Amino acid sequence: MRFDDLSMATRDDAETVADVLSGVKRLGVAYSGGVDSAVLLALAVRTLGRERAVGLLADSPSLARHELQVARSVAAEMGADLVEFATHEGERAEYRANGADRCFYCKDELFTVISDTLADALSLDAVAYGENADDAERHDRPGAAAATRHRVLRPLAQAGITKARVRALARDLGLSVADKPAAPCLASRIPHGEEVTPNKLRQIEVAEQALRDLGFSDSRVRHHDRIARIEVPLAEIGRFADDSIRQQALQAIRAAGFAYVTIDLAGMQSGAFTMQIIKRRS
Span 118-155, pLDDT tens digits: 999 999 999 999 999 999 888 778 889 999 999 999 99
Task: Tell me which residues of the chain have a pLDDT lower than 50.
Answer: 275, 277-280, 282
Question: Which residue from 65, 110, 108 is spatially nearest to 83, judged by alpha carbons?
Answer: 110
**C-alpha–C-alpha distance, residues 247 and 138, integer Å:** 38
Element (H, E) at 232: none
**C-alpha–C-alpha distance, residues 186 and 210, integer Å:** 15
Q: What is the pTM of this model?
A: 0.91
Question: Which residue from 56, 95, 75 is spatially nearest to 185, judged by alpha carbons?
Answer: 95
Q: Are residues 173 and 42 in contact, defined by beta-carbon separation less than 8 angstroms?
A: yes
Whole-number pLDDT of residue 141: 83
Whole-number pLDDT of residue 10: 95
- What structural domains and CATH numbers belong to the chain? 8-172 (3.40.50.620), 186-281 (3.30.70)
Question: Which residue from 76, 279, 42, 270 is spatially nearest to 156, judged by alpha carbons?
Answer: 42
**C-alpha–C-alpha distance, residues 36 and 243, integer Å:** 37
CA distances from 139 to 100, 143, 277, 281, 282 (A): 11, 10, 11, 12, 11
Name the phi and psi angles at 30, rounded to 5. Answer: -65, 115
Whole-number pLDDT of residue 138: 82
CA neighbours closer than 13 Å in the CB half-sphere of residue 212: 15
Residue 221's contacts (CB-CB under 8 Å, 6 or more residues apart) are 189, 204, 207, 208, 211, 228, 229, 230, 231, 253
**C-alpha–C-alpha distance, residues 262 and 8, integer Å:** 47
Grouping H, G, I as helix, E, B as strand and the rest as coil, residue 154 is: coil
Going across the sheet that includes 220-224, the strands are 220-224, 227-231, 260-263
**C-alpha–C-alpha distance, residues 208 and 216, integer Å:** 9
Alpha helix (H) residue ranges in the chain: 8-21, 35-48, 65-78, 93-97, 102-113, 143-149, 155-158, 163-172, 198-213, 243-255, 272-281
Residue 148's contacts (CB-CB under 8 Å, 6 or more residues apart) are none
Whole-number pLDDT of residue 271: 64
Whole-number pLDDT of residue 167: 98
Whole-number pLDDT of residue 36: 98
